A and B are shown apart, each in its own frame.
Chain A
Amino acid sequence: MYGYRGKILRINLTDHSYKMEDLDHELALKYIGGRGLGSKFMADEVDPSVEPFDPANKVMIVTGPLTGTPTPAGGRYMVVTKSPLTGTIASSNSGGYWGSELKFAGYDMLILEGKSPKPVNLFIEDEKVEFRDASHLWGKIVSETTAKLAEEAPDKAKILCIGPAGEKLSKIAAVMNDINRAAGRSGVGAVVGSKNLKAIVVKGSSKPAIADSEKLKEVVKLSRGKLKDNGVTGQGLPTYGTAVLVNIINEGGVFPTNNFQKTYFEKAENISGEHLAENFLIKRESCFACPIACGRYAKADDIEGGGPEYETIWAFGAACGVDDMKAVIKANFWSNEMGLDTISAGVTVATAMELYQRGMIKDSDIEDGLSLKWGDANSMVEWTKKMGLREGLVGDKMAEGAYRLAEHFGMPEVAMTVKKQELPAYDPRGIKGQGLQYATSNRGGCHVRGYMISPEILGLPQKLDRFAIDGKAEWVKIFQDLTAYIDSTGLCLFTSFAIDAQGYADLTNAVCGTNFSDADILEAGDRIWNLERDYNLKAGIDPSQDTLPKRLLKDPIPEGPSKDHVTQLEDMLPKYYEIRGWSEDGIPKPETLEKLGV
């Protein structure tokens, strides 16, 4: 078996047993790996109606066939489970060096089942699997957990863990690896916490076999060349990281400010990528086999760490009306240490600020002299910590995410969420395709299920009119399908700025010995998309949830270059359902599922 290791490690946390199973090669090639294969195992093994924190829910930690190979940026893994935040199937992706190490240990995926009677760590060194007590680490922040585990781990082992937020079942908790890389979204860290699993230490000593090494050398050289020559992956991302988007999105008047009440942030320059690079950047960081190296490492006062990324800067910055980059760096640091998703955490603070603005959260609800006034940078940092630790009334409710926070305080409509997951840093009223993408994303509010910003703002692979409706359903489908494929290979989505479907087919074929065409790639993505959709429908997530907060549908943008626009979702959704092969009500038709072999 090429690319794959052919082995699954099934972990029973209830009785601390494990077994190794063979990977079905045919099934693997149908669902590829990562997000696709993990979702297939969820569909086969976990009843969609399961409560996310029930021990019957499982966590699939899945690499792709290209993870740990010389393919560019092939170091990713996926955490697939049923989300406590959205109630949908969730798959959260992370880079760093942990995913490739799992592959080197000889496994394509881990399946975590049951619930440990007490906190436990898992140590994996090739075929050696051990359960070790984690009582001494329970409650510890991510860097401390990682440092302590490194003392008892084999040299150069890679460490994945949850922070206090995951332990305390925060619905916006992340799974962290290599200290500051995160499988961030949809609360996957809380499901790991619900199983009393603190960390997975992994060390491997062998590499996956390659079907055609000579061919692979050739296609890797070609794709690395494309990444180098592309302005975004060759210059923009290496120099400024993702944060360079701050000014681009703000100039277009689609930079959500004060929880999407405005779309232009006058002080954006203070939290821009240019400002970060000039004043706070210490070094760049890269993930396994990545020629892009978009990762940042920044310092503010006595705090330093990985990031912050564009989304994080926006969430703790403009979304909260904060223009203090030092505070953003600190909130990012504490978010990582608590094991919180930075998008959800920042948006949740912004939601609290709007609830305060509207009198729903009162001064008497707030402790420790903190405030929820727009732009209060110091309080914003403190709220991040309190959220991670579930401290105080508001901190405890914040740990539930923006929607449940707003619901608790009696105004759910101020939660800028889709399927209860916090929306990211692009106002869809002025980027119509992105709006359709948000509404139809299988894991709720998310930009990386189909990054329509690429054609609608950046002009890649071609420039689309961001205010137009025509053709957007088709673009969204292609982007969603291609993304589902990339997310299943183990490659980083950022490669798609420079590599097209044929390029992904060439890389897969050289590694796996397959003969995929670009059409096969998109069909596999379509299959994965429909599998996720089918699971969500069975989980009770009905198509009426393919929508956006009322503010984005009904309230026109008040000012700036995108003034007067709303997301015309009703003008795009029927076409989207139609080209997906779904009924007018958004249900995949039997013939669609049959054609795709779901």
Chain B
Amino acid sequence: MDIKVRLFATLRENRGKEVNLEMKETALPRDIIEKLDISEPEVAILLVNGRDGKLDQELSDGDVVSIFPPVGGG
């Protein structure tokens, strides 16, 4: 299945802003960060289709996964 991964802040370094991945049917966000060489502590905010996501949730074809390192302010 196809997953669109959107990366932000320092996670863009050497990876770009957006990556389209072809994953196996049972893929989890955990598999995506492994594939992109992102360590777990680097994932501060994980969104699946804009909603709070978990590293172990099942993804579906066409999902958009957004990953942010620890950032914030206001």
**Interface residue ranges, A against B (CB under 8 Å):** 230-232, 235-237, 239-245, 247-248, 251-253, 269, 273-274, 294, 310-311, 425, 447-448, 451, 453-454, 457-460, 463, 465-466, 494, 497, 560-562
Contact A244 B72 (CB under 8 A): yes
Q: Given A248-B8, A447-B74, A448-B74, answer yes or no on A236-B50 (Cβ-Cβ < 8 Å).
A: no
Closest residue on chain B to residue A424 by CB atoms:
B74
Contact A235 B70 (CB under 8 A): yes
Q: Given A232-B70, A236-B73, A248-B71, answer yes or no on A459-B9 (Cβ-Cβ < 8 Å).
A: no
**15 A-B residue pairings within 8 Å (CB atoms):** A231-B71, A235-B71, A236-B9, A236-B72, A237-B72, A239-B10, A240-B9, A244-B9, A245-B72, A245-B73, A274-B8, A447-B74, A458-B44, A466-B52, A560-B50
Chain B residues within an 8 Å CB radius of A447: 74
Q: Given A458-B45, A459-B45, A465-B52, answer yes or no on A232-B71 (Cβ-Cβ < 8 Å).
A: yes
Provide the B37-68 mask, 1 if CB < 8 A to any CB of A, else 0.
00000001101011110000000000000101
B53 to nearest A CB, angstroms?
11
Kindly identify which residue among B8, B68, B70, B72 contacts A454, using a CB–CB cutoff of 8 Å.
B72
Chain B residues within an 8 Å CB radius of A459: 44-45
Contact B70 A463 (CB under 8 A): no
Kindly identify which residue among B9, B12, B44, B47 contacts A252, using a CB–CB cutoff of 8 Å.
B47
Chain A residues within an 8 Å CB radius of B51: 252, 561
* Other contacts beyond A245-B73, A457-B45, A465-B52: 12, CB < 8 A: A236-B72, A237-B72, A243-B73, A244-B72, A248-B8, A248-B71, A273-B9, A294-B73, A458-B72, A459-B44, A497-B72, A561-B47
Give the top 7 A-B pairs by smallest Cβ distance, nearest first: A231-B70, A561-B50, A236-B71, A242-B73, A232-B72, A244-B71, A458-B72
Chain A residues within an 8 Å CB radius of B72: 232, 236-237, 244-245, 248, 453-454, 458, 460, 497
Contact B74 A251 (CB under 8 A): no
Bound complex: CA A269 to CA B9 (Å): 11
Q: Given A273-B9, A274-B9, answer yes or no on A252-B50 (Cβ-Cβ < 8 Å).
A: yes
Chain B residues within an 8 Å CB radius of A242: 73-74
Bound complex: CA A453 to CA B72 (Å): 9
Contact B74 A236 (CB under 8 A): no
Kindly identify which residue among A247, A311, A562 contacts B74, using a CB–CB cutoff of 8 Å.
A311
A443 to nearest B CB, angstroms?
16
Q: Given A274-B9, A274-B12, answer yes or no on A237-B73 (Cβ-Cβ < 8 Å).
A: yes
Q: Which of B14-54 contact A (CB under 8 A)?
A: 17, 44-45, 47, 49-52
Bound complex: CA A236 to CA B45 (Å): 13
Closest residue on chain A to residue B66 by CB atoms:
A251
Q: Given A239-B10, A274-B9, answer yes or no on A561-B73 (Cβ-Cβ < 8 Å).
A: no
Closest residue on chain B to residue A264 by CB atoms:
B50
Chain B residues within an 8 Å CB radius of A458: 44-45, 71-72
Chain A residues within an 8 Å CB radius of B70: 230-232, 235-236
**B4 interface contact, C-beta 8 A:** no
Bound complex: CA A447 to CA B8 (Å): 24
Contact B8 A232 (CB under 8 A): no
Closest residue on chain A to residue B42 by CB atoms:
A231
Bound complex: CA A570 to CA B12 (Å): 42
Contact B74 A245 (CB under 8 A): yes
Bound complex: CA A561 to CA B17 (Å): 20
Bound complex: CA A560 to CA B64 (Å): 12
